[in-house]
Structure 1
Amino acid sequence: MAQDTHQAESDTRNASQSPESEATMITRSLLRIALALVGFILLLFALGQAFGLDLLGMFAEFTQTWTGQWLLVAVFALLLIVLSMRGWSRQRTR
């Protein structure tokens, strides 16, 4: 009987909590993408300074090629897939 009461309280508590809105999830995802890009740029700059190479410039030149542009699109698509699957798994566990 105590388990039934505890389960009912738990269900009531879960129902009263509003699920994360889609706008909030998209905003958080965009913020994570922006932070990842800034981190990647800082990483390239720092490693370039440490080893005396222009890694940031090399990356910029690479992204100006046809292959580099398509690889950037592929990485961005992969990032979107990962973020959407993360959101999907959150919805299924609720």
Structure 2
Amino acid sequence: MINASIIRLKTFQNERLLSMVVLLVKVEKAVTEVLNVLGLLTTLSYAKFLEQVKQMALARAKLPEQEVLESKMDLSRISGTVVKRLAGDLRCTTA
């Protein structure tokens, strides 16, 4: 009796886990589709994307990278608005 209950519980837990995985896969597909429609889906790795954003920020500020490194400016303090604009510029160039 106890063994049967344990087996049923494990089966229920496995079914629940499986349904959760299926749901997460569906959510991932939906998010990917929405990002693709919005033009936000990129094939670039995160590191490459950040490098492109950094280069675009330097170009927009008309500063050479070496000058920024020498003056120890903190590029991580770019405001959200600038990052959004750069991301928009990047979407236009990769689309």
Structure number with greater CO (CA < 8 Å, separation at least 6) is: 2
Greater helix percent: which structure? Answer: 1
Normalised by the length of structure 2, the TM-score is: 0.35
